[in-house]
Structure formats: structure tokens, C-alpha cells
Amino acid sequence: MFEIMYQDDGVGLAAPQVGVNLRLMVFNESGVKGQGQEIVLVNPKIISTNDKKDEFEEGCLSFPEIYANIIRPTRVKIKAQDLEGKKFQLGLTGFPARIFQHEYDHLEGKLFHDRMSGDTLGEVKDQLVALEEEFILNNPGVEVRRI
């Protein structure tokens, strides 16, 4: 998963994004192989977030070249397991907290456009519809949930 993430210039990736039905995510805030810390979380769960939130432009490997401001808590405390099943807790702040929440949304069946304000969604809707249409053309017979 890290290789796919790095190839697409990403900083995080959730297993469902690559067709794997597991509650697993990887991230590295540097987005560069060999730099930063590679984090793997299995069965992550949010324990708490803080009340302070900030707005920041996000993109998503599932929606290439679409970027939008998303509001998220600046701190998150989580529990998870590593690849060997060992349980641990982790506190994340700033950009790593944002990456985690974005990938966690994928595990919960949410996409980043689900977090956009109405105005922001309106600004990127044409791009999203174009991606849907391209997907439908390339995948006949697949049912698509319309935005």
C-alpha cells in the first residue's frame, strides 16, 4: 500500500481505496519513501478529538486533481493495532491528525466530498460528475451512487 501511495504522490491510503475490504490504513506525512515515519494502523478507532478545528485544503487519491477546504479537529486520540495485532494508543496533532481523519473516513464509508460545505461542493461538483461519467464509461454494468 505504501508503494501505491508514493507512486500517486499521496500521504495516506486506506485499504478500501485499493479494493481490500479491511480496516487498515497507512500514512507518512512526508509523502516520500525513505523520509518521515511510515505508520500502519489496523482496526483504528477514534477515542477523542479536541474542540479546536481548522480548515485546510485536502485532496484524495480516489478523486485525482480535485482539492477542497475541509474543516477537521486539530487533534485526535486513537487506539489501533499493529500488523502483529498488538494494541496501542496514539495521539496525533496537526497534519498527521488530518491525514488520519481523512483515511479513517474511508474506513467509515465517507469520502472527502461528504465533508465539504455546500458552497465548496458546488465548486467541485462538475469535476466529480466528470469522474463519475469516466468511471461509468470504463466500467459498464457497475452501479454508481450519484452525488
- The one catalytic residue in 58, 103, 123, 134 is 103
Q: What percent of the chain stands above pLDDT 90?
A: 90
Among this protein's residues, is 103 annotated catalytic?
yes
Residue with cell 479536541: 50
DSSP code of residue 52: -
Q: Is 134 helix (H, G, I), strand (E, B) or coil?
A: helix
- Predicted local distance difference test score (pLDDT) of residue 143: 77
Q: Label residue 146 by pLDDT band (50, 70, 90).
A: low
2-117 CATH choice from 3.90.45.10, 3.30.70.100, 3.90.1150.10, 3.40.50.261 = 3.90.45.10
- Predicted local distance difference test score (pLDDT) of residue 147: 56
Phi/psi region, residue 101 (left: phi>0; alpha: psi -120 to 50; beta: rest), is alpha
- Predicted local distance difference test score (pLDDT) of residue 42: 98
As a whole number, mean pLDDT of residues 121-136 equals: 91
Report the distance separating Cα 143 and Cα 35, nearest Å.
40
As a whole number, mean pLDDT of residues 130-145 equals: 85
- Predicted local distance difference test score (pLDDT) of residue 141: 82
- In Å, how far are 60, 77, 93, 104 from 46, measured between CA atoms? 21, 6, 13, 9
pTM given for the model: 0.91
Q: Label residue 22 by pLDDT band (50, 70, 90).
A: very high
pLDDT, the chain, mean = 94
Q: What is the tens place of the pLDDT at every residue in 79-122?
A: 999 999 999 999 999 999 999 999 999 999 999 999 999 999 99
On the question of pLDDT at 7 being above 70, the answer is yes
Report the distance separating Cα 50 and Cα 78, nearest Å.
12
- Predicted local distance difference test score (pLDDT) of residue 142: 81
Q: Give the DSSP H/E element, type plus range, for residue 13.
A: strand 12-14
Residue 132 cell numbers, joined: 463519475
As a whole number, mean pLDDT of residues 47-70 equals: 95
